[in-house]
Structure 1
Amino acid sequence: MVLAMSRGATRAAGRLLPEIPLLRRGRMELGSGDGDGEAAEVIVPAHFRCPISLELMRDPVTAPTGITYDRESLEGWLARGHATCPVTGRPVRLVDLVPNHATRRMIQDWCVANRASGVERVPTPRVPVGEDDAEEVLAEVAATARRGDAAGCGAVAARARALGKESERNRRCFAAAGAARTLSSAFMHLAGEPVESASAVSAALGEILAALTVFFPLDEECRRCIASPASLKSLASLLSHGELAARVSAAVVLRELASSGDRHALEGVSKTHRMCDALVGLVTSPISSQATKAALVTAYYLVSASDRAAARFAELGAVPAVVELLVDADKGTTEKALAVLDAVLGTDAGVESARAHALVVPVLVKKMFRVSDMATDFAVSALWRLCRASGAGVGACRAEALRVGAFQKLLLLLQVGCSGVTKERASELLKILNGSRTSVECIETADFKGLKRPF
């Protein structure tokens, strides 16, 4: 009876819409023609199309109003604050949606019948997670963590992660059930001792962190758990000695913690033994682009918040590590690496380390253009710090800047325009470098013939 009503209502909704050709890869033509070179159009039956998206339904569900929609489209409609059926205007709740298996099977049969025209079969959708299911899984995560059952907790956390990644609906369901808090608490319960890459505890902590990355952001309670001394100790150990996937997850969670604006958490990270060493290690010996970028973001927040942390990073070789990374880095990595370098150069140890490295000035001048406005700001600021500070090596640093064309690039930068602070520092840099210029041109000037005014 219910299926009959659903089919009838779906057809009724379909009659409101004209039939349209199936769109595939941006084209309306599929398959081959009758030998004259023209492609044949495949018309999607109106009752197979969602009344919201007008596209072929992949997971049809029927509302209490009798209208069938594609699950993703209707759930998106409800998530945007609507609480009514788009066709009838009557009240609809998420929990009231019923999978329409009959329509789904008819759509699959239709896809198979039109396979020769290039139509791909709609896969059978997975059953979405319900509130009770999510709460049951998370309760098991909490229970196994309290018992100290590392292997069991890791297995359940992996299950929660897999379910959360299946669909945005599942992810929201787990998030609403408190997944981030449960996983953060479980991590704190199992953390504390140094972890070895082959141990059950290491594997479990890695699975928990991997699951936690699916359910960001971290609220205050989550941050309190992850920023506990025991948790931070395990995070530092995982960053250095964990399996590859665990190291990446640890770096991502640490980035989320550092970028939250929680000063207590940031202070705890900076004081954790060998945490800075582990972060520099991810830059000097990259394991993945994601981990490297996460480590750079964390490092930036640490050195920006504390001169002591900045000096520590300089002592650990952060300057040469970041400069080597900058040589062939993509845009996102370049921006983050320049931010870290600029912050570290705010310390005497950072300046001393930079002046001792032959590539620092050439790389900064090279990255001053053709990356992004953000990269330009950080590159100018870092070069300004190097050239204005007194001490040994400042003359050589200025001479190198002139040799690689910093003067002309700064002129061009002021010509095309830049932000307030960058403009001030670029102007001061020009004055500093102008005093060190000789009558010999430092680089080819052909690229700068278009400048309309001299310095």
Structure 2
Amino acid sequence: MILSGRRRSGAVSVKKSEVSKGLLEFTIPTLFRCPISLDLMKDPVTLSTGITYDRDSIEKWIDTGNVRCPVTNQVLGDLEQIPNHTLRKLIQDWCVKNKSHGVERIPTPRIPISRPQVLDNCSRMVAATRRGDAKKCVELVVKITILAKESERNKRCIAENGFGSALADCFEYFTRFSVDIHENLLKEILSALAWAPPLTQESLSKLKSTNSLHCMALYLNDGDLLTRRNAVSVLQELVREDRDYVDRLEQIDGIEEKLFHILEVPICPKATEACLVLIHHMMVLKKTTGGLIISKFIQMGLIPLILELLVDGDRSVCDKGLAVLDRMCHTKEGKVTAYDNALTIPLLVKKILHVSDAATDLSISILHKLFSGESGSYNGVVEAMKLGAFQKLLVVLQVGCGRSTKEKITELFKMMNMFRDGVDCFESCVGFKYLKAPN
């Protein structure tokens, strides 16, 4: 293989000064090249077939579902990757020898964590929890968290081999005692839980305990922004996995105020999204008290707060914020409050065809609610028409939409047809002559 001055992904590092002089042109030994990428191996590992590959290349090969050795085509009965230390040392020596040609020495790679190591650490954590040894639990959580940060492979291996269950068990146990005494441990566990799902049903039941939920709710108002983000993220994950958590959350005094405060004083987009998901679940899943929850959030000022989030929010925040706003507009109080806000109609019209299909459907749904029944009025429909809602709705029909959205658009067109005299520029719109006035 002839190594040119151009740097390839995964190839040896080349000094720019040497490249510019055109001095670098030598052959990388075939033994040092990965059979998959043909690049110089940084972390050579040997499979059960006896063939050595660069770890990154063979892992990507296996992760895509391949179960055969790329060179021999033999079935890989054992996917274990054994580090080839001898070959790695030869490659490093070769890099040092060719330093004058602009080749940088490849550092000794960290060996990724294995499944047995994860299981061993989980067992030790469970044992330490049973002994009530909080100090040892902190050490183990920190140790595994550090390993998880080294690579996505490590994080995936840790998450898939019971780490979440050990964390849930430890968290539930120590929340039975003073939260202040074990604050460091509980915060470390929350941080790990934020990236270490999935959880087993047993783990979910432990985190659904009164002590666990009250601890997470307590941390929603913690001064540490990272802890607040982790707490709301874990609660969102729990609700997603088991909707019964909504019943438990509702029983926590002041939970609505805590969630509202996270939106009012933003931490990060991830925390905002998680908070919106929790609020939406609380409104939708509580058939008997959902209206009361909506009223409480409206009185706090959630509608203008969400409208502010929609102004500069990214796609995910807009989708979730519009879903919450749509739910609040199910009630008369929500429709009146939203309609009276000067930002509502301009923002909804703007979001149509501007963010996502979900945002378009939700924006149309909210407009339909606002203009229907007692809250609908001449001024609102005319304002939407002046902002270009008619043309946007026509485009939505042309590009295609669901049956429910199509029905709402039809109703909106009928309202616009009834009030078209108030908009001079729409008098000549041929689309209106095909619309029948509502009965």
Separation of aligned partners in 1, 2:18 and 2:150: 41
Q: CA deviation at 1:378?
A: 1.0
Which of 334, 346, 349 is the aligned partner of 2:318?
A: 334
1:186 corresponds to 2:166 = no
Which of 224, 227, 238 is the aligned partner of 1:243?
A: 224
Is the alpha carbon distance of 1:20 and 1:360 closer, same or farther for their aligned partners in structure 2, counting shifts above 3 Å?
Answer: same
Q: One-letter code of the match for 2:78?
A: R
Does the CA-based 8 Å contact 1:185-1:222 persist in structure 2? yes
What is the CA deviation profile of residues 321-352 of structure 1, one whole-angstrom value per residue up to 9, with x for unaligned ones? 11011111122221221122112222233223
Separation of aligned partners in 1, 2:416 and 2:177: 53
Which position in structure 2 is the counterpart of 1:201? 182
Q: One-letter code of the match for 2:396?
A: L
Is the alpha carbon distance of 1:282 and 1:85 closer, same or farther for their aligned partners in structure 2, counting shifts above 3 Å?
Answer: same
Which position in structure 1 is the counterpart of 2:110? 126
Separation of aligned partners in 2, 1:122 and 1:66: 23
1:300 corresponds to 2:285 = no
Q: One-letter code of the match for 2:419?
A: S
Separation of aligned partners in 2, 1:167 and 1:348: 51
1:74 corresponds to 2:58 = yes
Does the CA-based 8 Å contact 1:319-1:353 persist in structure 2? yes
Which of 258, 270, 291 is the aligned partner of 1:278?
A: 258
Separation of aligned partners in 2, 1:27 and 1:194: 51
Q: CA deviation at 1:398?
A: 3.5
Partner of 1:273: helix, strand, or coil? coil
Is the alpha carbon distance of 1:115 and 1:429 closer, same or farther for their aligned partners in structure 2, counting shifts above 3 Å?
Answer: farther
1:288 corresponds to 2:271 = no
Is the alpha carbon distance of 1:71 and 1:433 closer, same or farther for their aligned partners in structure 2, counting shifts above 3 Å?
Answer: same
1:423 corresponds to 2:403 = no
The sequence identity of aligned pairs, in percent, is 38
Partner of 1:409: helix, strand, or coil? helix
Is the alpha carbon distance of 1:175 and 1:332 closer, same or farther for their aligned partners in structure 2, counting shifts above 3 Å?
Answer: closer
Which of 148, 165, 174 is the aligned partner of 2:149?
A: 165
Q: CA deviation at 1:301?
A: 2.8
Partner of 2:45: helix, strand, or coil? strand
Which of 59, 64, 68 is the aligned partner of 2:43?
A: 59
Which position in structure 2 is the counterpart of 1:217? 198
Which position in structure 2 is the counterpart of 1:13? none
Which position in structure 1 is the counterpart of 2:207? 226
1:103 corresponds to 2:87 = yes
Is the alpha carbon distance of 1:263 and 1:431 closer, same or farther for their aligned partners in structure 2, counting shifts above 3 Å?
Answer: same
Q: Bigger shift: 34-43 or 331-340?
A: 34-43
Separation of aligned partners in 2, 1:41 and 1:313: 69
TM-score, with normalisation over the residues of structure 1? 0.81
| Consecutive unaligned residues in structure 2, runs of 5 or more | none
What is the CA deviation profile of residues 407-432 of structure 1, one whole-angstrom value per residue up to 9, with x for unaligned ones? 34334433444332212111212212
Which position in structure 2 is the counterpart of 1:5? none
Is the alpha carbon distance of 1:425 and 1:285 closer, same or farther for their aligned partners in structure 2, counting shifts above 3 Å?
Answer: same
Which position in structure 2 is the counterpart of 1:410? 393
Q: What pairs with 1:15-164 in structure 2 (closer than 5 Å)?
A: 24=7, 40=24, 43-78=27-62, 85-88=69-72, 89=74, 91-95=76-80, 97-113=81-97, 119-164=103-148
Q: CA deviation at 1:390?
A: 1.6
| Consecutive unaligned residues in structure 1, runs of 5 or more | 1-17
Separation of aligned partners in 1, 2:207 and 2:263: 23
* CA-based RMSD: 3.4
Q: One-letter code of the match for 1:287?
A: I
Does the CA-based 8 Å contact 1:49-1:56 persist in structure 2? yes
Partner of 1:69: helix, strand, or coil? strand
Q: Bigger shift: 107-116 or 26-35?
A: 26-35
Q: One-letter code of the match for 2:265?
A: S
Separation of aligned partners in 1, 2:155 and 2:59: 13
Separation of aligned partners in 1, 2:382 and 2:354: 23
Partner of 1:276: helix, strand, or coil? helix
Separation of aligned partners in 2, 1:302 and 1:23: 56
What is the CA deviation profile of residues 10-61 of structure 1, one whole-angstrom value per residue up to 9, with x for unaligned ones? xxxxxxxx66769736799966699997685565432222223333322112
Q: Bigger shift: 83-92 or 57-66?
A: 83-92
Does the CA-based 8 Å contact 1:62-1:68 persist in structure 2? yes
Which position in structure 2 is the counterpart of 1:374? 358
Number of positions where the alignment pairs a residue of Structure 1 with one of Structure 2: 427
Q: One-letter code of the match for 1:335?
A: D
Does the CA-based 8 Å contact 2:204-2:238 persist in structure 1? yes
Q: One-letter code of the match for 1:68?
A: T
Does the CA-based 8 Å contact 2:164-2:193 persist in structure 1? yes
